């Protein structure tokens, strides 16, 4: 793993946006994996600036998102689909046919997972995956205990994650209890990973991610085994 210490959130975001821009300029048809959460928000704003300035043409990329809440339709303001269209896709004018996000309202969730995994394969796999870090070490929604061999699957969210994500909902009860997420193996199969680390209460978990034992208790620790991962840390949180 390559580890880059950014001086603050803005610096982390700019470094990530530049890495994404470089990827798309080098390979305009890149298959990009995107993440939700507060951490990548500024990165997405900078990408939108690059698009508006004509620095990067995103029109030929395909995208896959890591995860989606079960039960929230794509027009629900807290769905990850809504988040991505609002904070990135609509603003870079990406054709919806190029955007892939698991449907949390599919009638057959297991089939939805299988179809999603197949869609990733049929486009040749993900070239570049952006990741955030959950306060308990989760990546996507792969909670502690998730099998390292997992592909896209349905998960029950931990109490800790439900509580952490309740800040976006009006009450704890409104937070969905399940989600669809790309698995650890799906993430490990991506060719290049950038893990962004910022936000409160991440100092201990980032330490365990980077230098702790590799095990299912800290799902992100498996990234130590990925051949092409860069971790960009907002060092103001350390």
- Considering only 13, 23, 30, 39, the residue that binds ligand GLP (CB under 6 A) is 39
Catalytic residue among 87, 112, 138, 165: 138
Residue 4 and residue 15 in contact, taking contact as beta carbons nearer than 8 Å: yes
52 vs 163 by CB, closer to ligand GLP = 163
Sheet with 192-197: strands ordered across = 2-6, 229-234, 192-197, 128-131, 31-34, 62-65, 99-100
Phi–psi pair at 129, nearest 5 degrees: -120, 125
**Contact flag: residue 35 with ligand GLP (CB under 6 A):** yes
**Contact flag: residue 161 with ligand GLP (CB under 6 A):** yes
Listed ranges 7-15, 21-29, 34-42, 81-89: which one lies at the site for ligand GLP (CB under 6 A)? 34-42
160 vs 216 by CB, closer to ligand GLP = 160
**Contact flag: residue 144 with ligand GLP (CB under 6 A):** no
Burial category of 3 from C-beta neighbours within 10 Å (exposed 0-12, middle 13-18, buried 19 and up): middle
d(CA 35, CA 41) in angstroms, rounded, equals 9
The candidate with the shortest Cα–Cα distance to 58, out of 12, 80, 91, is 91
Report CA-CA distances (Å) from 51 to 23, 44, 193, 194: 14, 10, 22, 20
**Residue 143: active-site member:** yes
Chain positions 195 to 224 lying near ligand GLP, rule: CB under 6 A, are 199
- Considering only 165, 190, 209, 229, the residue that binds ligand GLP (CB under 6 A) is 165
Paired tokens of 189? 């199969």
**Contact flag: residue 67 with ligand GLP (CB under 6 A):** yes
Which residues are catalytic, by number? 67, 136, 138, 143
Interface with ligand GLP by CB under 6 A: which residues?
35-39, 66-67, 132-134, 140-141, 161, 165, 199
């Amino acid at each position: 793993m390559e580890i880059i210490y950014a001086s603050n959130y803005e610096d982390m975001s700019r470094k990530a946006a530049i890495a994404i821009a470089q990827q798309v300029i080098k390979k305009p048809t890149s298959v990009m994996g995107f993440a939700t959460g507060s951490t990548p928000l500024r990165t997405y704003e900078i990408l939108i600036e690059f698009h508006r300035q004509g620095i990067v043409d995103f029109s030929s990329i395909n995208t896959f998102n890591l995860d989606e809440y079960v039960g929230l339709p794509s027009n629900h303001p807290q769905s990850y689909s809504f988040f991505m269209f609002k904070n990135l896709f609509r603003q870079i004018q990406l054709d919806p046919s190029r955007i892939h996000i698991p449907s949390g309202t599919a009638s057959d969730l297991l089939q939805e997972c299988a179809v999603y995994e197949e869609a990733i394969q049929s486009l040749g796999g993900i070239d570049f995956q952006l990741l955030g870090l959950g306060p308990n070490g989760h990546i996507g929604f792969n909670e502690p205990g998730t099998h390292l061999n997992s592909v896209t699957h349905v998960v029950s969210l931990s109490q800790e994650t439900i509580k952490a994500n309740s800040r976006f909902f009006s009450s704890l009860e409104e937070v969905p209890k399940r989600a669809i997420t790309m698995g650890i193996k799906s993430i490990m199969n991506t060719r290049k990973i950038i893990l962004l680390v910022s936000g409160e209460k991440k100092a201990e978990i980032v330490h365990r991610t980077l230098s702790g034992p590799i095990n299912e208790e800290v799902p992100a620790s498996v990234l130590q085994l990925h051949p092409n991962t860069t971790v960009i840390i907002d060092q103001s949180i350390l």
